[in-house]
Amino acid sequence: MKRGFDHEKYLEEQSKYILERVNHYDKLYLEFGGKLLFDLHAKRVLPGFDENAKIKLLQKLKEKVEVVICVYAGDIERNKIRGDFGITYDLDTLRLIDDLRSYDLDVNSVVITRYDGQPATTVFINKLERRGIKVYTHRTTKGYPIDVDTIVSDEGYGQNPYIETTKPIVVVTAPGPGSGKLATCLSQLYHEYRQGRVAGYSKFETFPVWNLPLKHPVNIAYEAATVDLKDVNMIDSFHLDAYGDVAINYNRDIETFPVLKRIIEKITGQESNFKSPTDMGVNRVGYGIFNDDSVKEAARQEIIRRYFKTGIEYKKGHADKETLERSKLIMEELKLQESDRSVVIPARERSAKLKEISAKNEVCPAVAIELEDGTILTGKSSDIMDSTAAVILNSVKYFANIADDIHLISPVILEPIRNLKSKNLGSKSSALDCEEILIALSICAATNPMAQVAMEKLSELKGCQAHSTTILSIHDEEIFRKLGIDITCDPQYSTENLYYNN
């Protein structure tokens, strides 16, 4: 995919705009929507976007910034999973703290929102506090979201403890949506004004991009990414009325704006400067786009990826029929088909040929991968290795100009691993997965120069596109993620097993 986004220009424009906003206040509470780190969605739809652009932006401002992390107690109780990393929200909070510290950013505290003594959440609080992390707990705000007089009173925000902060920019972030970031910001505003300080609120939400057209593929890709939340992009009617300019926002922000505006005015005791929800934002990502055609095509491909992902979620029982249908409608809106993803048909054709050869009514898993030069390779499952492992080996052979019939991994290495897996560890299958094959390859690299060359080519897989005709195991998904391969799957399991499956 050709670059279409200027990362350096974006950082410069964004940092300048945030500093302009903070100059109006003693303290600015900046709600960060989306992913603070590893924003893979933005990276995919904006070729050239650094997945850690936001954290690098904050690093530039680190002398003025401290971070507060919000986690909703209900998400901890039900072990909610962050989809792109496959870890629970409480573990993602720990990861986020470590990552922020690695960028030399000051983590002020963790706020547990809507806390009501939930057992698993209490254990998490203990874990944080015993590792020296300051924790605050907020109960459900009385009167929220309608009764503004109660919300902005000692019975509402006044019930929450004040989070002691020292820097002019307080970034409020979370592992995912619905974590209570906005409520935390407003609660802090309430306490700041009671103590005689002038504080402000702004929102940093990358998508939808307010200065791109409503039906721009990048904005539609945001709808595809949040199909489970039922987010819908809309023209910001408040912005249009106030300025006569078209700006794009999404339904939840537009619907809540009147109440949010009233709450801020009640807290500050004066008319708000914000005329629209778009006014509240500080996002300048649209100014980094320099090749609109490249960005559009990248967004279309992301929509197809999201469609496949929703199909998998539905198959696994994590998404409902309405969500799946919504995903299909988005595809139809842009006249996209599954086959518009270049690796889908080669994977399915390889699987179909394998099924013909086997002459059995069984699933024949196959994976296709598209390399940077446009070459498409495939891999199939065998008694020795899974299709995912096979396609990775085929790819590194291609990069290293090693003939397909040359074996990189000696049977002397493979057989003991397979025996250990099936006989000693009790696995139902002795076929090796991605990680096991890569470990075997690394062992062979110690004595086999060709295996060493192949190992060195693994980094060239980053950014490649792949498709599997069957649902991957969580373990294989993680390996592909670490290698930087964007993989989609058909919503079909590789076996009829219920427990001994993905």
Q: Render each residue's pLDDT in the chain as its tens digit; 502 residues.
A: 789 999 999 999 999 999 999 888 999 999 998 888 889 999 999 999 999 999 999 999 999 999 999 999 999 999 887 766 778 999 999 999 999 999 999 999 999 999 999 999 999 999 999 999 999 999 999 998 889 999 999 999 999 999 999 999 999 999 988 899 999 999 999 999 999 999 999 999 899 999 999 999 999 999 999 999 899 999 999 999 999 999 999 999 999 999 999 999 999 999 998 999 999 999 999 999 999 999 999 999 999 999 999 999 999 998 999 999 999 999 999 999 999 999 999 999 999 999 988 767 788 999 999 999 999 999 999 889 999 999 999 999 999 999 988 889 888 888 888 888 888 877 777 788 999 999 999 999 999 999 999 999 999 999 999 999 999 998 899 999 999 999 999 999 988 877 666 4
Domain with CATH 3.10.630.10 in the chain: 7-219+238-288
Identify the pLDDT of residue 197.
Answer: 93
DSSP tag of 154: T
| CATH H-level, domain 7-219+238-288: superfamily | dip2346 domain like (3.10.630.10)
Domain with CATH 3.40.140.40 in the chain: 342-489
Report d(CA 276, CA 261) in Å as an integer: 9
Given 3.40.47.10, 3.40.50.10540, 3.40.140.40, 3.40.190.80, which CATH number is that of 342-489? 3.40.140.40
Counted residue by residue, the chain has a size of: 502
Residue 379 CB neighbours (<10 A): 25
Identify the pLDDT of residue 501.
Answer: 64
- The amino acid occupying position 417 is I
CA atoms within 13 Å, Cβ hemisphere of 274: 24
Report d(CA 202, CA 281) in Å as an integer: 6
Residue 117 CB neighbours (<10 A): 9
Identify the pLDDT of residue 81.
Answer: 79
| Ranges of H-type helices in 269-343 | 277-280, 292-316, 321-333
DSSP tag of 385: B
